[in-house]
Structure 1
Amino acid sequence: MRFAVTGNTTMCNTEDLVYEDTGGCVSTLKQVLPGQVWLENEILLRKKQMINKGREWLVVDNLVVHEEIKLGTSGATTYVRNYQQTLKNLSRCGVRVVCYNFMPVFYKIRTHFNSSYPDKYVFSLFDKVAFSAFDLFILERPEAEQCYSYYQRHMARSFYRSLSSEEKDVLTQNILSCVQSGRASSIDELISLLEQYKSISADEFLCNYLSFREEIEPLAQSLDIQLHFNSDNPCQNLLGLPSLQQYCLS
């Protein structure tokens, strides 16, 4: 199947993501806060909106896993139960393909977005040099220098110095826009989210993921829901955050 993005957007809006050859749609309920239950009436309303556009809602783009589940805090149990209830509601409403990820803080990281192409496809990319410049000189994370080689720091510094004030703002906003469910609108808010992960090891993070899977996979199977795990994007340890893929590779 071929994905297409319809409409003029600066970022890929899943409301407009369709299967060109089937009329099927990949969508989500962005108005529902992370960790809250997707109610049946909200799901059915979204399905009706898609039907009115000649489409069928086939796939949930990203059913957000709350940060407390990833961190394994005392509040995780409540959010797991809410996740399970959402799966039940989706199944009752006939939406049985659900994608999710377990990437800390972000749902993906991109440094550039471009929607100026005549075919209306949205282009985005992750540029390691641009991201390093953000980490070192905009976010100014204290541990950042230890994460890059001398050459990488040199390239990042040269790139940063080439940017205008407006370009620095655009880079910052592009990265902040990738935070899960828009939970960070400023550098200070991003720093606060990153701080939460300083007390958790890679082993603990993996255990939290495996515990989550044990809670949702048997239920999904009983509901005839296909769960699809979206890997970290990009698959790298960034900003000192743990990465499941990097952990498995190491």
Structure 2
Amino acid sequence: MIEGWRWYGDFDRISLGEIAQTGAASIVTALHEVPYGEVWQKDTIAARRNRINRAGFAWTVVESLPLHERIKRGEGDLSVLLANYRQSMANLAAEGIKVICYNFMPLLDWTRTDLTAPVHRGGTCLRYSEVRMAAFDICMVRRPGAEESFAPDTVKAAKAWFQASTQEDRDLLTTSIMAGLPGAYDRFDPDGLREALKPYEGLSRDDLRANFKRFLDEVIPAAEELGLSFAVHPDDPPKDILGLPRIVTGAQDIEKILAAHDSRANGLTLCAGSLGANPANDVPAIARRFADRIHFAHLRNVAKEPDGSFEEAAHLEGDTDMVALVKALLDEETRRKAEGRADADIVFRPDHGHELLDDASRKTHPGYPLIGRMRGLAELRGIIAGLTGPRP
């Protein structure tokens, strides 16, 4: 397995030189400065690749090549947007990129209600509170029908939280929920978000699946010709948010997506945290079931609560058996090598580390601290060494 590290380019407060000290070998990044729907120009990609290579890293995985929201909504004439996307794919392939990670979550990316929840023995983590999400949806966004999306006890607790909260509490909640939009610079206040949700009214899961199928039909043949592998990222959290349907939440959803265009180029980013937040998911079993189509992996852990809340756990301390998961990925690598496949080695990265020691002073992207992720990488490296022996 190839140790990766997510880097936000010039927006990142962690330098490539510092990342080199973690031992990671591969940088996972994107052109976060390019607006959604525009072409990623070849010279810009080449400049980014050269910068990464000069620092001693490989760049083979893009995270992410984002989709314009009109593609997700299936809205209007999409020919220009889809042509631009394919041109970006071609430009990436020309510069040696092999894997494109992307998601199909409408409007919002990963969603958390707390960015600095305290951790036992010190440090902070990302947290999703079902009660605070309900308070935001019902009392702040005031989305029609929001109460029907939550359990009665959650609604009651959400209203109690809202009544007891200060404006500062509410502003912090809004900021936390909006934080999961890397590379997308639209940030909404509750009223603005209510307006932003209107174009999605009536969008069902079946509608979203049909729009996803249309996207795959447009890009997977091109990916096959270019030697690219697409790797859809599961929804985070794996449930409907603000009335928006989510369709990449577990094994059944993944099976439908992979069957929608039955090609090895149509694959999966195995995100242990996103899938692990769904109580119905056995993440190692999912990894074994879809092993042949896993092109990239996010290895992190979560600790779930009965009401649907969860928080980011240390990599070896959450609900997912990380040793079993890593073994499933290593077994798949062994199988691929026996077949002589060029994509035998799977790039993985530690994800959503705790803020530890002086991480908080850096004010990095939420979930992407230096020390916390380095701890996670070291723990994952230890698992791999225990299963395969130390690195040469």
> What TM-score, normalized by structure 2, do the two folds share?
0.56
Question: Structure 2 vs 1, CA of residues 139 and 31 (structure 1 numbering), >3 Å: closer, same or farther?
Answer: same
Q: Which residue of 1 aligns with 2:341?
A: none
Q: Which residue of 2 aligns with 1:129?
A: 131
Matched, 1:192 2:192: no
Letter in 2 for 1:241: L
Structure 1 unaligned spans of 5+: none
Distance in 2 (alpha carbons) for counterparts of 1:85 and 1:97: 15
Q: Which residue of 1 aligns with 2:227?
A: 224
Q: Secondary structure at the match of 1:123?
A: strand
Q: Which residue of 2 aligns with 1:244?
A: 247
Q: Does the Cα contact within 8 Å between 1:14 and 1:28 map onto a contact in 2?
A: no
Deviation at 1:2, TM superposition (A): 4.8
Q: Which residue of 1 aligns with 2:212?
A: 209
Q: Does the Cα contact within 8 Å between 1:98 and 1:227 map onto a contact in 2?
A: yes
- Aligned counterparts, 1:48-87, within 5 A: 48-87=50-89
Q: Does the Cα contact within 8 Å between 2:3 and 2:25 map onto a contact in 1?
A: no
Question: Structure 2 vs 1, CA of residues 25 and 4 (structure 1 numbering), >3 Å: closer, same or farther?
Answer: closer
Letter in 2 for 1:145: E
Distance in 2 (alpha carbons) for counterparts of 1:192 and 1:203: 23
Deviation at 1:30, TM superposition (A): 0.9
Deviation at 1:183, TM superposition (A): 2.1
Letter in 2 for 1:164: T
Distance in 2 (alpha carbons) for counterparts of 1:98 and 1:13: 24
Question: Structure 2 vs 1, CA of residues 190 and 213 (structure 1 numbering), >3 Å: closer, same or farther?
Answer: same
Deviation at 1:245, TM superposition (A): 3.2
- Aligned counterparts, 1:78-97, within 5 A: 78-97=80-99
CA displacement 1:176-217 (0-9 Å, x = unmatched): 233471323323332222111114332221111011111111
Deviation at 1:68, TM superposition (A): 0.7
Q: Secondary structure at the match of 1:59?
A: strand
Q: Which residue of 2 aligns with 1:38?
A: 40
Q: Does the Cα contact within 8 Å between 1:96 and 1:225 map onto a contact in 2?
A: yes
Distance in 1 (alpha carbons) for counterparts of 2:148 and 2:14: 37
CA displacement 1:219-241 (0-9 Å, x = unmatched): 11211111100011111111111
Structure 2 unaligned spans of 5+: 254-392
Q: Does the Cα contact within 8 Å between 1:68 and 1:75 map onto a contact in 2?
A: no
Question: Structure 2 vs 1, CA of residues 53 and 187 (structure 1 numbering), >3 Å: closer, same or farther?
Answer: farther
Q: Does the Cα contact within 8 Å between 2:4 and 2:24 map onto a contact in 1?
A: no
Letter in 1 for 2:247: L
Distance in 2 (alpha carbons) for counterparts of 1:50 and 1:163: 45
Question: Structure 2 vs 1, CA of residues 75 and 191 (structure 1 numbering), >3 Å: closer, same or farther?
Answer: farther
Deviation at 1:29, TM superposition (A): 0.7
Larger mean Cα displacement after TM superposition, 154-163 or 164-173: 154-163
Deviation at 1:156, TM superposition (A): 1.1
| Structure whose CA Rg is larger | 2
Letter in 2 for 1:233: D
Q: Does the Cα contact within 8 Å between 1:177 and 1:185 map onto a contact in 2?
A: no
Question: Structure 2 vs 1, CA of residues 237 and 13 (structure 1 numbering), >3 Å: closer, same or farther?
Answer: farther
Deviation at 1:59, TM superposition (A): 1.4
Task: State, as a whole percentage, how many aligned pairs show the same letter.
Answer: 27
Q: Does the Cα contact within 8 Å between 1:237 and 1:246 map onto a contact in 2?
A: no
Distance in 2 (alpha carbons) for counterparts of 1:182 and 1:246: 26
Distance in 2 (alpha carbons) for counterparts of 1:167 and 1:88: 46
CA displacement 1:53-106 (0-9 Å, x = unmatched): 332222111111111111111232211111111110000011111101100001
Matched, 1:235 2:238: yes
Question: Structure 2 vs 1, CA of residues 48 and 32 (structure 1 numbering), >3 Å: closer, same or farther?
Answer: same
Distance in 2 (alpha carbons) for counterparts of 1:24 and 1:171: 34
Letter in 2 for 1:99: C
Q: Does the Cα contact within 8 Å between 1:14 and 1:27 map onto a contact in 2?
A: no
Letter in 1 for 2:179: S
